[in-house]
Chain A
Amino acid sequence: MTSLTLFLWASLILLALGLVGLITRRTIVGMLISVELLLNGAGLSIVAAAKTSSTNGLVDIHGQLAALFVMGLAAAEATIVLAMVLVAQRRFGTVATEAITTIKGSKA
């Protein structure tokens, strides 16, 4: 069993836990937490694959930079979701996903 196996299984754990959270959480905020778990697993698997499957320095740099881009996207996504949470709270009075079922609100 190589180290790549171990690291990929660790990221698979993160993927599974994030999926469980996405299914069971009932508010946008809880789902945001689960999505962060998923993105962490993605970054970990990218870096592990790049580090352990090549001795080429360029592949290594590519892998680390790809993980950095994933982190940047996660930060942008968290910002947008925070704004969406604020809008939903203002418009519906709650962030429960069962209550937010209309795209066009009755009253802006």
Chain B
Amino acid sequence: MNSIIEQILHNIGHLLDSCEAFLAPILPGQGIAALIAFFFYVLLLLGGGLTAVLARNLVRAMLGLVITFLGVAGMYLLLASPFLALMQLLIYIGAVCVLIFFAIMLTKNTTDGEETRCPNPINVLYAFLAALAPIVVAGPIIYLQTQTDPLQVQKIPVHTPVDSGANLGEGLLSMDLLPFELISIILLVAMAGAVFLAFKPQRSPNS
């Protein structure tokens, strides 16, 4: 029994070694487990994003959006910012998705809406071609500009100078105080504006 387990572990080690040998020339200096996690999150992004964009049922599209949010939260974890990952889960999956779900349900768009009609495939093709534009423009720039890493901070998971929430709170109340106050005003105005837009005054019967 022990020898079988040893054999399996040996084989897994060989597999990881060959993975590393395959990836090492392309991605020097990255941890292999972090790379596997990274590409798993990229798969989540791609699958969830494609579902969110192409699903004909809007509830399914929203579920794809949730998958994408989970992938981005994982990327934040790989970037050594666990507080942001937690906020991603709380704000996006907890709040924004519920708002979108309300919007879908209040407009009866699940089974007989405009979105359920299949779009012209030519139009979808054109949309993908149009979305290639930022990739074609920005992709080579990213590739060329990030080749040299003067700081040698290039491993995934990223080495982190700061990782505690207390530092974030101090930054929020010292150097980023103005954006912090501004965003509180924006949130207040957005809330008041939403109530103002959606509020339907009841007509009293004797007026």
Q: Which residues of A are at the interface with B, using a C-beta cutoff of 8 A?
A: 1-10, 12-21, 23-30, 32-34, 36-37, 40, 43-44, 47-48, 51-58, 60-62, 64-65, 67-69, 71-87, 89-90, 94-96, 98
Contact = CB atoms under 8 A, between A and B. Distances in A.
Given A21-B52, A30-B58, A37 B68 contact: yes
B75 A32 contact: no
Given A8-B146, A23-B126, A78-B100, 12 more contacts: A3-B155, A18-B53, A26-B114, A27-B115, A30-B58, A34-B53, A36-B65, A36-B92, A72-B187, A78-B95, A82-B102, A86-B106
B46 A3 contact: no
Contacts of A94: 107, 114
Contacts, number: 258
B151 interface: yes
B12 interface: no
B143 to A, nearest CB: 6
Contacts of B104: 29
Contacts of B49: 13-14, 17-18, 37
Contacts of A1: 26-28, 143, 146-147
B42 interface: yes
B107 A52 contact: no
Given A33-B100, A40-B72, A72-B183, A27 B113 contact: yes
Contacts of B22: none
Interface of B: 26-28, 30, 38, 41-42, 45-46, 49-50, 52-54, 58, 61-62, 65, 68-69, 72, 75-76, 79-81, 83-84, 87-88, 91-92, 95-96, 99-100, 102-104, 106-107, 109, 113-115, 117, 119, 123-124, 126-128, 130-132, 134-135, 138-139, 142-143, 146-147, 149, 151, 153-156, 158, 160-162, 167-168, 171-172, 175-176, 179, 183, 186-187, 190-191, 193-195, 197-198, 200
B146 A2 contact: yes
A16 B131 contact: yes
